Structure formats: C-alpha cells, structure tokens
Amino acid sequence: MFRLIHPFLIFLFIGNTPLNGQSELISRIKIPPVVLDNLVQGRIYSPDYIQIKGSQYLTKTWAMGNIQIQDHTYRDLPVWYDIYADELVLLYSVKGSLSLIQLPKAHTLAFTFDNRSFVNSALGKYKESGLKKGYFEVIFRGRADLLIERNLELKKENSIASFNRKDRIYYVVQNKAHRVRSKKSLLELFDQKHHKPIGNYFKKQKIRLKKASDTQLKQLASYIDVLLSEEVESNL
C-alpha cells in the first residue's frame, strides 16, 4: 500500500503520458496497480529523447522498488531511473491509462530497486560531504564508502546523437567526498603504508578503474576496508 500523507504533498496530475521511442517498451508490460491514499507531489515525466540513439535509463526496464520520502518508506512501487535527467520515475496505471510521474527530488532521501541502492546527496548522510546534488548509487559502505554517479553524456557523430556512459567514482572518507579518476588519485586518499598492498591488489586483480565493473569496484572497496579496519585494531 502506497500512502503519502505528509502535509507538504501537493496534487499529482493523472493522465496519459506519451510513450514513444525508447519508452514504447513500458506500454507492453502490465504495470501492477498502486493504491494512492493521497495524491503525490510530482509532475508528469515525458521521456522524449526520440532523436538520441541508446537508452537514458539505468536498467532495461522498470522494477519494483522502495522509496524513502522524508521519514516514510513506501514499498513495492514500479519505478525507473532516468540517468540523463537524474530523475526517479513512478509508473502509475489506472483503468488502463498509464502515467509516468517524476518524483520530488527535494524530499526523496533514498530509493532501492533492481537490488541497487541510491541516495540523494543533498539530504541525509552525505549532505555535508561535498558531493554535487543528485542521486548516487551506493556500491559499498564501510570506513570508506564507495559511491558512483551514474552519468550520460551526449555524443554526436555524423549528425547522429547518442548517449555515452560516463560514470564517476567517488570515495567518501571521514565524510569528505573525493572523486577517483585513477589508481594514483585513489592511493592519495590513504596512508602511505597502504599504497603498496592496494597497488598489489590492482595488479593481481588486473583492475583498470575506468573499465572496472561494479563487482570489481565493490571488491576493491571491501579490500580497502579490511586494510583500514586492521589499522584501527592495531592501534587499540
């Protein structure tokens, strides 16, 4: 049951949203019903990227997710994440009419879907970390948190525009965010004594940061967390 009853919430306009281009896929899938006890703040989302090659979405299709708005968590909602617009979209179906609702970023603290976890850097734990405002995927939490800003850039070649993934990696150490572009910039975040073991890990696992998978990045962050934990234990 989806219940939004917070006093700041305003009316949501329910109607038909154009489903064209990449979003035709939505109309071919049955959207589970969502019961709204109150109308949700938001606005109609229009995914009009018809002239651009590729998809603006993080995943191939929508998935059921949980959303935290202020101190309330709403579960099992059909959502999709638009990387290019950096917006979380609710799929709302009533009597066969489908609407796509852009949920309010000003009040959305976090959300999960497709076994992935996202936070709003402007709210909550990372508010004072120095991260730019927006949604970030949390890959690892520990003594050094690993976050990724999912990002798309427009690339134009021979008059054809296409989406080009340009994700950005950040480590948050002692509540300060650092963008990591290379092994060197990563090593600079930690004590000199950790440089050699981290460098050896890169070599052994054949990691290249710019091409590393999420799994590789998570394993690297976990390895670094073990090093930092051992340092703390040795100082006790």
Quickly state the pLDDT bin for 14 (edges 50, 70, 90): very low
pLDDT of residue 139 exceeding 80: yes
Question: pLDDT at position 29, please?
Answer: 57
176 residue type, one letter:
K
Q: Quick one: which of 52, 60, 72, 66 has its CA closest to 3?
A: 72
Q: Could you give phi then psi for residue 148, rounded to 5 degrees?
A: -125, 130
Q: Could you give the percent of the chain with pLDDT greater than 70?
A: 80
Q: Could you give phi then psi for residue 132, rounded to 5 degrees?
A: -65, 155
Task: Report, as an integer, the average pLDDT of 180-191.
Answer: 96
More confident residue, 10 or 33: 33
Specify the pTM: 0.85
Question: pLDDT at position 33, please?
Answer: 66
- Tokens (6 digits) for 234: 């040795």
Rounded-to-integer distance, Cα 31 and Cα 101, Å: 13
Task: Report, as an integer, the average pLDDT of 27-47.
Answer: 64
135-140: strand order across its sheet? 43-44, 97-102, 87-94, 72-82, 63-69, 108-113, 116-120, 135-140, 144-149, 168-173, 176-180
Residue 23 DSSP code:
G
Residue 94 DSSP code:
E
DSSP 3-state of 207: coil
Rounded-to-integer distance, Cα 223 and Cα 201, Å: 8
